Amino acid sequence: MANIDQARLDLMHKYWNAANYLTIGQIYLLDNPLLKEPLRPEHIKPRLLGHWGTSPGLSFIYVHLNRLIQEQDVNMIYLTGPGHGGPAIVANVYLEGTYTEIYPEITQDSEGMRHLFRQFSTPGGIPSHVSVTTPGSIHEGGELGYVLSHAFGAAFDNPDLIVAAVVGDGEAETAPLEGAWKGISFLNPVRDGAVLPILHLNGYKISGPTVLGRLDDNSIQKQISGYGYDVHFVEGNDPMQMHQAFAETLDTCYTKIRSYQEDARKHGFTKRPPWPAIILRTPKGWTGPKVVDGIPIEGTFRAHQVPVADVKANSEHLKILEDWMRSYQPDEVFDETGRFIPELAALAPRGDRRMGANPHTNGGKLLVDLDIPPFTDYAIEVKKPASEHHESTRQLGNMMRDIFTRNAQKQNFRFFCPDETNSNRLGAVFEVENRTSVENILPGDDHLSPDGRVMEVLSEHLCHGWLEGYLLTGRHGLFATYEAFSMVSASMTIQHAKWLEEGIKLPWRKPISSLNILLTSTCWRNDHNGFSHQGPGLIDTVLSKKGTIARIYLPPDANCLLSVADHCFSSRNYVNLIVIDKQPQPQWLSMPEAVAHCTRGLSTWHWASNCEKIEPDVVLACAGDIPTLETIAAAWWLRHHIPELKVRVVNVVDLMTLYPHTLHPHGLDVESFVEHFTEDKPVVFAFHGYPRAVHRYGRAQRHESLSTLHRSDAPRVPCARTSSSLDC
């Protein structure tokens, strides 16, 4: 590979200086942003927050990717695994101009810089991570482990896109990240983009060494190449040598990526390419203070956060900070007014090629509506409640099959599932789609192909992360999982929910397709499974999220499921949780009845009650398919054995209707709530999940006790009945 022009590298070095300077300014300074006067205690923030250690490496990579983008006109986005390096990414999107375009008050001058510094990690300002407020981010990186799964999700069906994904070497110890290297086994060079993993081997976590940091190159090479990558090392601490080495390596990797893609696109898929991965070994806190109070800082875990503390009170520390900041020669990179000097600003890509402005990172801009067939086409004919028994999820599988067909040209829909598509009765999708694999395919394999869009990998983390990456870059999908194991990735559900909660407050972030999670193989009907398969906890997890984004549906039968799914697939910016079992179950409502029921969110089922015109003695309420069956059976028994007792059955499909309407937009007002649950009659609520959900919100509506039927955990021996002899 030819040497990179030294003059260009010198300028890039200055650009990197500017980014490092702005990073430190965000961590430390309240005022005096350009150091026009000697640093004084009053210029320092009262509380020093932020992470320096990872930041110089992140900026180094950013500056180099800018060169590649500019020279080769690359469509590239940047995902920061160690998202705590937020100030570095904010510094870079500020330098490239996207920050000021989105936040005009952060001007490209000393006043804007002052504002940029003051807002960082400050109440009312911006978070310390690469969060939703950061242009160009689809990955906050606060909870470590998901960068590669997000990166692959973004690359699927984006043939032109290269996703640079920085993996922290601490992050690389997490289980989700360890699994995510396998993404290349699902990445098709013909129709997908590429992921360029850059393992940032700075050797340390918060307070100790990383496992990989203590391995020699040979061991790391074996490990990463074992996943199928072609490993490139760039190591050292001399900046100018490192600029040259990294630039050359980047060029090599880019050439390889494009040649694999060109070959596959010209000749068709033959085998998984050995995609390149870079191992960048640099000191933690590179270019920062070497020693403070006699203790080494650069190249140690002590550089992780704020490398020089107590700067306001300790004049020696203040001096270290000032010398450190001046080492980046701010007067060489910013002019008198604080503007980035044009010769350096010219090194950033233009327009949408800037990584902070790439539309793939604001997926709503690229979102094309999903073409959803009329869900009523998949209706089960129900002439009389419980006259039919069906596996409800099968109907959803039929609908998804046709969603795949209708959107085949747009290539914007994928289904993610940990190896349970058939088990969850969604196998109709295989009439038109395959499972994906770019590894060897053997004659006996079932619906396995490099072209598939059914993403089956036995990792809830990967399914979830891939779907999130896919959604955040403007596409659509569904994650279906056994209910109990949705808890494996529950934390990802929370993180995505928080992202959406904040994202909807930012007018520049365009709405994206909702995160749709189908929980099936539920706790009440795991007939051949054990206690391990019982745990409806994700409901509680989603209940804890804000009403602006959280939705939970418990359709009691197939027609309700279809209606709910149609709504979820066309919705935006929600986390939609749909809970329904896969086993044959009685079908209660005709399609028109189901539509009316789901539109209301809950209904009194007069056909199961005996008090249409009068106040009941007791309300039997239910949410969830098995609790519905049990409740209908109980009501039947009461009607037949104690006919003088007036029983009302209320079925809840949209759990959020139980909230007070002040807390959730779907919540009923008190009058409507009382219309169903009465002012003061006892309510016995059979609920699919843990009882506190119903207690908390149902009680709030009626200010009195409500009994919930639910065991403190699901039964070890399945208790559900599938009676076909109910005379409803």
- How many C-beta neighbours within 10 Å does residue 725 have? 6
Window of 199-207, 218-226, 649-657, 720-728 that interacts with ligand TPP by CB under 6 A: 199-207
Q: Among 4, 77, 144, 428, which residue interacts with ligand TPP (rule: CB under 6 A)?
A: 144
Window of 204-212, 315-323, 383-391, 579-587 that interacts with ligand TPP by CB under 6 A: 204-212
Window of 106-114, 170-178, 503-511, 565-573 that interacts with ligand TPP by CB under 6 A: 170-178
The DSSP line for 592-614 is HHHHHHHHHSEEE-GGG-S-SSS
CA 183, 186, 188, 194: dihedral to nearest 10 degrees?
Answer: -10
139 binds ligand TPP, rule: CB under 6 A? no
Q: Which is nearer to ligand TPP, 90 or 647 (CB)?
A: 90
Chain centroid to Cα 48, Å, comes to: 29
Q: Among 143, 178, 230, 371, which residue interacts with ligand TPP (rule: CB under 6 A)?
A: 143
Window of 140-148, 360-368, 546-554, 560-568 that interacts with ligand TPP by CB under 6 A: 140-148
128 binds ligand TPP, rule: CB under 6 A? no
Q: Which residue is nearest to ligand TPP (CB)?
A: 168
140 binds ligand TPP, rule: CB under 6 A? no
288 binds ligand TPP, rule: CB under 6 A? no
84 binds ligand TPP, rule: CB under 6 A? yes
What is the pattern of x (binds ligand TPP, CB under 6 A) and - over residues 45-74? --------xx--------------------
391 binds ligand TPP, rule: CB under 6 A? no
Chain centroid to Cα 151, Å, comes to: 11
Q: Among 204, 430, 605, 690, which residue interacts with ligand TPP (rule: CB under 6 A)?
A: 204
Ramachandran angles phi, psi of 193, nearest 5°: -85, -160
Chain centroid to Cα 156, Å, comes to: 15
Pairing state between β 75-80 and 161-168 = parallel
Q: Among 92, 128, 202, 522, which residue interacts with ligand TPP (rule: CB under 6 A)?
A: 202
CB of 65 to ligand TPP, least distance (A): 17
User: Which has the closest alpha carbon to 83: 161, 153, 137, 17?
Assistant: 137
Count the alpha carbons within 13 Å of 71 in the hemisphere toward its beta carbon. Answer: 14
Q: Which is nearer to ligand TPP, 207 or 409 (CB)?
A: 207
Q: Which is nearer to ligand TPP, 89 or 187 (CB)?
A: 89
Q: Which is nearer to ligand TPP, 206 or 645 (CB)?
A: 206
Window of 202-210, 270-278, 599-607, 661-669 that interacts with ligand TPP by CB under 6 A: 202-210
Window of 101-109, 164-172, 480-488, 697-705 that interacts with ligand TPP by CB under 6 A: 164-172
Give the 3-state secondary structure of residue 620.
strand
The DSSP line for 340-390 is BPHHHHTTS--GGGSTTT-GGGSGGGT-----PPPGGGGPPP-SSTTSEEE
169 binds ligand TPP, rule: CB under 6 A? yes
* Cβ proximity of 311 and 321 under 8 Å: yes
User: How big is the site for ligand TPP, counted in residues (CB under 6 A)?
Assistant: 21
Pairing state between β 707-709 and 230-235 = unpaired
453 binds ligand TPP, rule: CB under 6 A? no
CB of 19 to ligand TPP, least distance (A): 16
Q: Which is nearer to ligand TPP, 169 or 566 (CB)?
A: 169
* Cβ proximity of 232 and 221 under 8 Å: no
Chain centroid to Cα 275, Å, comes to: 24
Task: Please tell me the distance from the alpha carbon of residue 674 to that of residue 670, in angstroms, as a whole number.
Answer: 6
* Cβ proximity of 700 and 641 under 8 Å: no
* Cβ proximity of 148 and 180 under 8 Å: yes
492 binds ligand TPP, rule: CB under 6 A? no
CB of 211 to ligand TPP, least distance (A): 10
Window of 40-48, 203-211, 338-346, 367-375 that interacts with ligand TPP by CB under 6 A: 203-211
Stretch 3-32 residues interacting with ligand TPP (CB under 6 A): none
Q: Among 25, 50, 135, 170, which residue interacts with ligand TPP (rule: CB under 6 A)?
A: 170
Given phi > 0 = left and psi -120 to 50 = alpha, else beta, which region is 154? alpha
CB of 202 to ligand TPP, least distance (A): 5
For tokens 């929600």, what's the residue? 574
* Cβ proximity of 129 and 89 under 8 Å: no
281 binds ligand TPP, rule: CB under 6 A? no
82 binds ligand TPP, rule: CB under 6 A? yes
Question: What tokens appear for 593 in the block?
Answer: 């009845």
Residues in Cβ contact with 4 at an 8 Å cutoff, skipping those fewer than 6 apart: 67, 243, 244, 247, 248, 251
Ramachandran angles phi, psi of 514, nearest 5°: -70, 155
206 binds ligand TPP, rule: CB under 6 A? yes
Q: Among 64, 139, 205, 648, which residue interacts with ligand TPP (rule: CB under 6 A)?
A: 205
Q: Among 200, 256, 545, 664, which residue interacts with ligand TPP (rule: CB under 6 A)?
A: 200
Count the alpha carbons within 13 Å of 195 in the hemisphere toward its beta carbon. Answer: 32
Task: Please tell me the distance from the alpha carbon of residue 547 to that of residue 656, in angstroms, as a whole number.
Answer: 8
Q: Which residues bind ligand TPP (CB under 6 A)?
A: 53-54, 82, 84, 142-145, 168-171, 174, 200, 202, 204-206, 210, 284, 304
